[in-house]
Structure 1
Amino acid sequence: MSLLRIFSKPRWQSKDASIRRDAVASDDDPALLPLLAGMAREDVDASVRLAALKRLADPGLCQSAARDDVDPAVRKTAAQLLLDLLSGTHAKAPSLNDRMRLLRAQDEQKLLEHVALNAPEAELRLAALQRVERMPFVLDRVTDDADSGVRMAALGRIDNERQLERISERSRKSDKTISRLAAERAQALRIERGDASAITTHARDLCEQFERLLREGGHIEAAQGLCAAWTRIAERAPAELTTRFQNARDLHERSRDPQQLARLRQQTADRVEFKSRLESLELQLRQPDPAAYADLQCGFAELEKLHARIADSDESSSAGLSTRFARVGAQISALTPATEPSVKPSAAPAQASQDQAAAREASKVAARQTRLAEQKQHAERLQLAIEAAAKAIDAGHSAAAREAHAEITHLRRKMQTIPASLREALADVESEYARIRQWQDWGDRNRRQQLLKELETLPASGLHPDALSTRVREMQAEWANLNRIEGGKAAPNTGMEARFHALCRDAFKAAKPYFEKRAELRKQGSGQVSEFIGQTKTTLRDENLSPRDALRIRHDAAQALHGLDRVDPRERKSLAADLKQILAALDERIKAANVQIGNDKDALIKKALALSELTDTRQAISHARELQKRWQQAGSGHRNRDQAQWKAFRSAIDSVFSRADSERAELNAKQQQALDAAAALCSELETLISADSEPERSAVHALEAQWRELGCSDSALRKRFQAAQESLRVRAANTRQRERRAGFESWMAHYTLLRQLERNEMDPAGFLITREAQPALNMAAEAMQARADAVLGGNAIATVDVARVLDCVLELESLAGIEPPEEDRQRRMDLQLEKLSARMRGQQAIAPEQSLCELLDRWLALGPVDDAHASLESRFLHALGKALDTLG
Structure 2
Amino acid sequence: MKLFGLLRKPEWEHANPERRARAVARSDEPALTAKLPELAQADPAPAVRIAALARVDDLSLLERRLRGEREPDVAAAARSRLNELLGGKQPAEGAEALVGQLLDDPLLQTLAGSAATAGIRRAALERIDKPGLWLERCQVDPDPALRRWALERIDDPDALARIAESVRKRDKRLARAAREKFEALGVAAGDPAALRRRALELGEQFGQLSRQLPDDRDARQQALLADWAALRPRVDADLQRRIDGAAAMAEAALAGARGDLVRTAPPQPDNADEPESPATTANTAPDPAAQLRALAERLPPAEQGDALAVLDRLEAELAALSPTPPAGEVRAVLEQIHARRRDIRQREAAVQRAEQAEAWKEASRAFEAALDAGHPGPAREARERCAPLATTPAQHRELTGLDARLAELERWQRWSGSKARQRLCDEAAELAGSGLHPDALATRLRELQEEWARLDTIDGDAAPGPEHGLTRRFRALCGRAIAPARAYFAKRESLRRERAESVDELLARSEALPEGEALRALRQDIAGALRDLDSVPPAQRGEYGRRLRERLQAIDAAQATAREAAVLDKRRLLARLRRDLGAAEPAARIGLAKSAQSEWKRLPRGTREQENALWSELRELVDPLFAGERERSAEREAQQAAQRQAAQAILDELAALVDAEPERLLHAPAHLEQLQARWRALPLEAEAPARPARGGRPMPRRAAQHPMQARFDRLQAQLEAAMAAAERQREAVTIEALCEAGALLDARDAASSGAEREGLQAQLEALPLAGEDRSALCARLEGDSLDALDGQEVERLVVGAELYASADSPAESATLRREAQMQRLAAKLEGGTEAPAEQQLRQLLRELQGRPLQRPDTRAEAIRRWRRAWDALTTGGAGRAP
TM-score, scaled relative to structure 1: 0.42
Higher relative contact order (CA 8 A, sep 6+): 1
